Structure 1
């Protein structure tokens, strides 16, 4: 399974050597469970491991998979002790609106609406939103919802300029004015909205 955690927007407080040890321990477990290691982050005393189903899979990660992954990873960490000190291990899934931190994250979300906040840019120009039309190892291309000050409808954003990025959940098109109304009981939500992401599974380590 793919490892998409080679970090582009690395805001963790663990050194690269420790992150590499954690990744090495986690990857065989994730592969055996037929899942992807979507992200790896250490913040505020919590080691957050985000798992996802492979691209193109019909469903997301469920509670049973998260619980099993937490047990297996926790047991491996108890033996290898890759992270010094006390911390909380949290195994979770990305959710409907996904944080984008690596080139692989952007590449697997092509065609979706994303919101980007840029670094060191004042005013409205700091925030961009549009459809992700392309992504490579260096940057992402957006078809902007709102044209820029120069009238441009497309923008290429290098990754090093991005402070934060995430996908934006978009509901289906609004009904046309004067069209037939649906009762609340007859209203259907998109498939993604029926199954919210499973809550994270946690384990304390010391």
Structure 2
């Protein structure tokens, strides 16, 4: 089997983003109801605006028409990841030290598979997260390879 839709899309969009000094956060291809959506999430320091999303969408759309990796009809959406941006790479973890994050694990640590707290540090492929249990603060160390999913979390004080 050849490359999947998200891989092909990633290859096509990266040069466009590089030229515009934007960063690729994520690509997802999924069915919602009757329709397929190809979503590309982009970002930069200070966030992206609608105009930038439009430019990327236009250029990417042309490239997708040329290569035609998708056999179904679909909607292309280019947007910013929003407040709950996913953390996919080790570089993402380094970048967001000090931020409030939510992490889902492949296997439990201390009986838990989900943690929410402040990312204290990221060293030696391990995230140290400060979590609150009732009134106590605890540090928990999470190896990068055990993280199934992670994103910035919005806190309401």
**TM-score computed with the length of structure 1 as normaliser:** 0.62
Show the counterpart of 1:166: 151
- Aligned counterpart in structure 2 of residue 113 of structure 1, from 87, 100, 103: 100
Q: Distance in 2 between matches of 1:122 and 1:143?
A: 14
Show the counterpart of 1:132: 119
- Aligned counterpart in structure 1 of residue 60 of structure 2, from 56, 60, 73: 73
Q: Distance in 2 between matches of 1:42 and 1:106?
A: 24
Q: How many residues align?
A: 152
Q: CA RMSD in A?
A: 3.0
Q: Distance in 2 between matches of 1:66 and 1:131?
A: 30
Q: Which has the larger radius of gyration?
A: 1
**Greater per-residue strand proportion:** 2
Unpaired stretches in structure 2, ≥5 consecutive residues: none
Query: Shift of residue 98 of structure 1?
Result: 1.5
Asked if residue 85 in structure 1 is aligned to residue 72 in structure 2, the reply is yes
- Does 1 or 2 have the higher relative contact order (CA < 8 Å, sep 6+)? 1
Query: Shift of residue 29 of structure 1?
Result: 0.9
Query: Shift of residue 18 of structure 1?
Result: 4.4
Query: Shift of residue 15 of structure 1?
Result: 6.9
Show the counterpart of 2:138: 153
Q: Distance in 2 between matches of 1:158 and 1:122?
A: 10
